[in-house]
């Protein structure tokens, strides 16, 4: 006779150890909790311009009746468009429900029990999380001078290492590898491991010697590039991102894709977003003006900060980041408290429009003064 098993015995140890990520509550709930009437979200690096005009029109024109029809199971038209833009083959692209989903595709495709992945200790945490809740080890290499440490990562490789994840530019520090650093890293890996370069912020980059990673795929077939429509293209709510790689590597990753995970509206929005010629330059203007303003104000408050490429800045506070988060919320400003990124006492601020940044400066200077700092 079977005895009743407690739930515990069904759960793998690596799931028992893993803590669920708790997302922020919706705006209406937060306004009630913190007693604010307006809320500026500067916590997720979204584009204050929203989606490009071309995408807006396409989303508005989407026939509601089409909601009953399954979408293209492999984002066919979008992949053809990307192939056109980058001079590659459509089968070199895989779309996912946000770049977050393609992280899981790659890890599932290459890792088995006992394998590990390597990334930095202070970077986008989803690489580490997906590895760990799937039962794989995530080896974390400390940043050097706020940037990814190429040699440190190579030193951590063993025979069970399958994938190295480089966030370029790095969220949250904005540091980035130039073409020479990335190529020399790929040369040293010598095709023996998968190298993922997460370029979620690629479209914000202004520096001329940023790597042309799509071109590097031709020379390095073990290179996988991630992009997203959530940041520059303002489509975070529709959830769409993609990866690019050599055909051999993408043919393997495709086996782990969930068919139909990218919805029809997201596919349409992304396809038309790529056609807009004004959206990116307009966003660049807003981000560079916003950064100038923000850095000047942080200087005036005497707060240290770190930034690079990307639409975000990290600042160090003379107080706990979670306390600062709560106090700023009562003033209607939401930033990212960075303890979860292993940067205690730091906050990350999205470089948004002037109005939002002014609200941020007012909220922050209020709480820094309360705290008795200069």
Residue 54 sits in the site that holds ligand PLP (CB under 6 A): no
With respect to ligand PLP, which residue has the nearer C-beta, 36 or 201? 201
Q: Tell the smallest beta-carbon distance from residue 290 to ligand PLP (Å).
A: 18
Q: Find the distance separating the first CA and the last CA of the chain, reported in whole Å.
A: 72
Q: Under rule CB under 6 A, which residues in 259-278 are in contact with ligand PLP?
A: none
Choose the stretch contacting ligand PLP; rule: CB under 6 A; options: 32-40, 223-231, 250-258, 283-291. 223-231
Residue 222 sits in the site that holds ligand PLP (CB under 6 A): no
Q: Tell the smallest beta-carbon distance from residue 332 to ligand PLP (Å).
A: 23
Separation of alpha carbons 213 and 223, rounded Å: 8
In the Cβ-directed half-sphere of 183, how many Cα atoms lie within 13 Å? 12
Q: Under rule CB under 6 A, which residues in 26-45 are in contact with ligand PLP?
A: none
Q: Tell the smallest beta-carbon distance from residue 198 to ligand PLP (Å).
A: 5
Residue 196 sits in the site that holds ligand PLP (CB under 6 A): no
Q: Which two tokens stand for residue 288?
A: 């560079």
In Å, how far are 84, 128, 307, 310, 312 from 212, measured between CA atoms?
16, 26, 21, 16, 22
CB 83 within 8 A of CB 93: yes
Residue 235 sits in the site that holds ligand PLP (CB under 6 A): no
Look at residue 178 and give its three-state secondary structure: coil
Q: Tell the smallest beta-carbon distance from residue 35 to ligand PLP (Å).
A: 29
Which of 43, 116, 119, 171: binder of ligand PLP (CB under 6 A)? 171
Q: Tell the smallest beta-carbon distance from residue 97 to ligand PLP (Å).
A: 8
With respect to ligand PLP, which residue has the nearer C-beta, 109 or 225? 225
Separation of alpha carbons 346 and 321, rounded Å: 6
Q: Under rule CB under 6 A, which residues in 240-259 are in contact with ligand PLP?
A: 241
Q: Output the DSSP codes for 195-250.
A: EEEE-TTGGG---TTS--HHHHHHH-TTEEEEEESSSTT--GGG--EEEE--HHHH
Separation of alpha carbons 224 and 149, rounded Å: 19
Q: Tell the smallest beta-carbon distance from residue 228 to ligand PLP (Å).
A: 3
Separation of alpha carbons 263 and 238, rounded Å: 8
Residue 168 sits in the site that holds ligand PLP (CB under 6 A): no
Separation of alpha carbons 267 and 329, rounded Å: 34
Q: Which two tokens stand for residue 114?
A: 């006992």
Residue 94 sits in the site that holds ligand PLP (CB under 6 A): no
Which of 47, 228, 261, 267: binder of ligand PLP (CB under 6 A)? 228
Q: Tell the smallest beta-carbon distance from residue 296 to ligand PLP (Å).
A: 25
Which residues of this chain interact with ligand PLP, rule CB under 6 A? 98-100, 124, 167, 171, 198, 200, 228, 230-231, 236, 241
């Amino acid at each position: 006779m079977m005895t009743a098993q407690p739930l515990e015995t069904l759960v793998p140890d690596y799931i028992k150890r893993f803590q669920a990520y708790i997302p922020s509550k919706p705006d209406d709930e937060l306004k009630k909790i913190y007693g604010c009437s307006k809320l500026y979200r500067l916590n997720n690096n979204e584009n204050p311009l929203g989606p490009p005009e071309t995408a807006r029109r396409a989303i508005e024109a989407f026939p509601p009746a089409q909601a009953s029809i399954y979408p293209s199971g492999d984002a066919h038209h979008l992949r053809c468009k990307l192939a056109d833009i980058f001079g590659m083959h459509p089968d070199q692209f895989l779309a996912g429900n946000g770049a977050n989903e393609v992280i899981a595709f790659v890890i599932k495709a290459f890792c088995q029990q006992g394998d590990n992945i390597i990334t930095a200790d202070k970077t986008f945490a989803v690489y580490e999380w997906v590895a760990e809740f799937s039962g794989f080890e995530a080896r974390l290499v400390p940043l050097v001078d706020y940037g990814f440490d190429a040699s440190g990562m190579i030193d951590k490789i063993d025979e069970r290492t399958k994938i190295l994840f480089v966030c370029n530019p790095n969220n949250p520090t904005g540091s980035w590898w130039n073409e020479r650093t990335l190529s020399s890293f790929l040369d040293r890996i010598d095709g023996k491991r998968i190298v993922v370069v997460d370029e979620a912020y690629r479209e914000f980059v202004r520096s001329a010697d940023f790597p042309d990673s799509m071109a590097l795929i031709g020379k390095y077939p073990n290179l996988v590039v991630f992009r997203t429509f959530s940041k520059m293209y303002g489509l975070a709510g529709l959830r769409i991102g993609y990866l690019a790689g050599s055909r051999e590597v993408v043919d393997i990753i495709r086996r782990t894709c969930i068919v139909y995970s990218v919805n029809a509206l997201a596919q349409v929005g992304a396809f038309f977003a790529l056609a807009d010629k004004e959206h990116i330059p307009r966003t660049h203007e807003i981000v560079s003006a916003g950064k100038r303003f923000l850095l000047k104000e942080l200087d005036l408050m005497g707060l240290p900060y770190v930034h690079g490429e990307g639409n975000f800045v990290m600042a160090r506070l003379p107080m706990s980041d979670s306390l600062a988060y709560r106090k700023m919320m009562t003033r209607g400003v939401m930033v990212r408290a960075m303890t979860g990124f292993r940067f205690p006492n730091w906050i990350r601020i999205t470089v948004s429009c002037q109005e939002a940044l002014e609200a941020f400066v007012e909220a922050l200077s209020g709480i820094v003064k309360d705290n008795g700092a200069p």
